[in-house]
Chain A
Amino acid sequence: MQPLEGIRVADFTWVWAGPFCTLQLAHLGAEVIRIESGNRTCVTRLLPPWPDGTPGVNRSGYYNQYNQGKLSLALDLKRPEAIVVAKDLIARSDVVCENFAAGVMERMGLGYDTVRQVKPDVIMISLSGYGATGPESEFVSYGPAQVPLSGMSSLTGYAGWPPMHVGISYGDPTGGLHGAVAVLAALLHRARTGEGQYIDLSQQETSIAVLGDAIAGQSWNGIQPARNGNRDPHMAPHGVFRCNGEQRWVAIAARDDDDWRRLADAMGRPELATEPRFATLSARQAHEDELEAMLREWTAARAAEDVVRLLQDAGVPAFVSMSNSDLSLDAHLQETGFFVSLDHPEVGRRQHAGIPWRLTGTPCAVRRAAPCLGEHTDDVLRRILGYDDARIDALRRDGVLV
């Protein structure tokens, strides 16, 4: 039995944040039905990577990664007949998720007030860039822009450089995961009381939630930490150092003086541990440029894997800065069963990131590859909504099921 077996999710989400929220529910065994339309194709179906570089709405590694385990129902929500179908689905669902701009669901006749008439105990969550209320709630929000909006960029960057990004649209997964926490809490509440509810999640707010200490510092002292590259206020040395080879780097951090002593030993320079310039954290920070130069010289001659092995043997935190190919081929990740390779009708068997937690009593597994667009339209209409062939044919003839 999987934790959310028997729970059904009417999934109106798209792009990354919303689908990442519903992906967690799919991982937990819920039946997640994405409502999609070829007339308004989810942008992740249109982005690379594609096998052989050949585009196709069912060929995207991006869509296929974040929609594993879900079903796809093709519905053109601009059509009133489609809204009827959507309501029929909601009537048989436990959870409704959406991440349209504020007001879109209401204008389609699928706002919470309507939805709860169809299913009184439904749990509905709206994830949006700025939240459902407030003077900026109608602003346009794109994933990459959320990182600077939330304050993360002002805190991130090489020392002396301008604000920088973090490499991914970080606000999306953070928002999606907070959304999954919220849905699960609401499911527990409903199990106890029978009561559903509406959840308004602002991705700006969930992104700020992971910067709480910096907000506190500003609140008290009117300042925020200066951008300082890979350095850290509590640890030195602490950085990423170049190794032998093409773009091979290793992250190294000495948590305390003991780690520093073991690191100096491993470098063949035990005397550095007690040298006044480096003996304490504050001394090391006062001479951090020199410290890093020494480390750089030591790592530059070595393979990243050798540096990691030497340092981990000495109990010092170190790890290769992993690229996607490093991760794909990593022995540890393969051995622990993290990756998933399932058959997909258009791209075949491809390696995907799986579920990052293990529930030993009610094991979870990705049960199917991501769906092709509309792949489960007939199944959903027949099996879940009880429509007969005539009704389905009529909808199809009228161009509703696209």
Chain B
Amino acid sequence: MGSALNGIRVLECGELVSAAYATKLLADLGADVIKIEPPGGDRARRHGPFPRDVSHPEHSGLFVYLNTNKRGVTLDLTQARGRALFDRLAASADLVVHNIPPPLMSAHGIEYERLAALNPGLVVTSITPFGLSGPHRDYAFTDLTLWNAGGVAYLNGGGPGTDDLPPLRAYGPQSEYQGALNGAIASLAALFARLRTGRGQHVVVSIQECLVAILELTFEFFPYMGLVASRLGVKPIQPLDFFECRDGWIFICCVEEHQWQRFVELMGSPEWAAMELFENRLSRAANWDALKLLLQEWTKEQSVAELYMAAQHRRIPFAPVSTMGDLLASEHLQARGFFALVSQPGMPAVHVPGAPYRFSATPWELRSPAPRLGEHTADVLAGVGVSAGELGVLKREGIV
């Protein structure tokens, strides 16, 4: 059993999530990924969560999760000597993935033409906020501004009557995860193309565009019907909403007539369910204010787990509003062996999401934890001709 991406050598630079998750996908499928951090370390090391909330650069849950199976090197790419070493590494790499912001790319040595001259087979993937052209190319950004720039936030919020509440973000730097997934896809595609062309190329991902590409059916309302889609719109069909039970929350999803009928039976066929007001999914949506109150009265007596099982056994697609604790305790996820335990010396072992897919021939594998800061600098640089003595000098000068 080999790994799908054996033999592919990847360099990663940048910080936080988008480049790191892209190369994590590759590393976890067997690629040889070298993560290049500035001597002070990736900012993700300071983000946590931390065991017992005690901050420690080797124990950041975000960093540990994103950087499994990678080797770690420190290099100051803002210095010429650092860039020269990066060039030596790039000369024998297959792929560079980075998320260094466009205005800083050149100063960090990320210049595709120059790197291609060193290594014509090299693929360089730039995960950027707005691409490398156009009036917004150099805009300052964070996940929040990108989630809004991509149109996703505008669709989310408190629903009708909450005009004063702002568009609402999702948890976590999701714009970075979308950039990462698209970056991985485009990088792998470029490597596949190289099998035939023998040449690398520059791959540019625009995170804003990645988000506009996932607006479900909402974007097209404007080109097709001249309509603006927003979080304030009334849902056309119900029930499709959150309800509180006695021990948590459940999402009631019951949009087909036959599902509603079975749900009514599950509730013991209360009289109100026979009212004309609620006779089909459109009228249930039109009278949602009333129906929601009636359903809330019923759900608050129920247990989430029992209601979930009872509904699913009747083929009604309810879902629990899972907490992280629910997920870690889930019998289903445990049976699938989904969570992986990451252990490294000096750190309490931690469960993180494991394989996001199961390959029958080349499975996902956790081979090593995230690298300690600079853990592999000496070995990796020795591989490109840096002696112990030179390494000492580089350390003193803050290049590594």
- Cα distance A346–B145 in the bound complex, in angstroms: 37
Contact B362 A317 (CB under 8 A): no
B195 at the interface (CB under 8 A from A): yes
Give the A-binding residues of B (Cβ under 8 A): 2, 4-8, 25-26, 29, 47-53, 61-62, 64-66, 112, 130-131, 133-136, 139-142, 144-158, 163-172, 174, 177-178, 181-186, 188-193, 195-197, 199-210, 212-225, 227-232, 240, 242, 244, 249, 251, 253, 255, 312, 315-328, 331-333, 335-336, 338-339, 348, 350-353, 355-362
Interface string of A256-298 (1 = CB under 8 A from B): 0001000000000000000000000000000000000000000
- Cα distance A73–B26 in the bound complex, in angstroms: 34
Contact B212 A338 (CB under 8 A): yes
- Cα distance A205–B157 in the bound complex, in angstroms: 25
The minimal Cβ–Cβ distance linking A229 to chain B, given in whole angstroms, is: 7
A385 at the interface (CB under 8 A from B): no
- Cα distance A239–B188 in the bound complex, in angstroms: 36
- Cα distance A199–B356 in the bound complex, in angstroms: 10
Query: Which residue from chain A places its CB closest to the CB of B22 in the assembled complex?
Result: A181
- Cα distance A357–B332 in the bound complex, in angstroms: 36
- Tell which of A33-41, A187-195, A371-379, A394-402 binds the partner: A187-195
Contact B149 A320 (CB under 8 A): yes
| 13 more CB-based (< 8 A) A-B contacts, given A167-B156, A353-B209 | A48-B217, A61-B221, A132-B358, A153-B321, A155-B172, A158-B165, A177-B181, A177-B182, A215-B324, A215-B352, A259-B140, A323-B151, A355-B209
How many residue pairs at the A-B interface have CB separations less than 8 Å? 499
Contact B224 A49 (CB under 8 A): yes
Q: Using known A-B contacts A140-B316, A319-B146, A321-B148, determine if residue A359 contacts B224 with beta carbons closer than 8 Å.
A: no
The minimal Cβ–Cβ distance linking B209 to chain A, given in whole angstroms, is: 4
Which residues of chain A are near B312, meaning CB under 8 Å? 136, 139-140
Contact B225 A48 (CB under 8 A): yes
In-complex Cβ contact of B189 among A136, A232, A315, A359 (8 A): A359
Contact A186 B204 (CB under 8 A): no
Contact A319 B351 (CB under 8 A): no
User: Interface residues of A toward B: which range?
Assistant: 35 or more
- Cα distance A158–B153 in the bound complex, in angstroms: 13
Contact A208 B327 (CB under 8 A): yes
Query: Which residue from chain B places its CB closest to the CB of A133 in the assembled complex?
Result: B336
A–B pairs, 9, beta carbons within 8 Å: A148-B242, A154-B321, A165-B156, A169-B216, A170-B214, A197-B360, A199-B357, A200-B357, A328-B219
- Residue among A51, A137, A317 with the highest chain B CB neighbour number at 10 A: A317
A368 at the interface (CB under 8 A from B): no
- Residue among B177, B188, B190, B205 with the highest chain A CB neighbour number at 10 A: B188
Which residues of chain B are near A100, meaning CB under 8 Å? none
Query: Which residue from chain B places its CB closest to the CB of A347 in the assembled complex?
Result: B224
In-complex Cβ contact of B317 among A140, A162, A165, A201 (8 A): A140
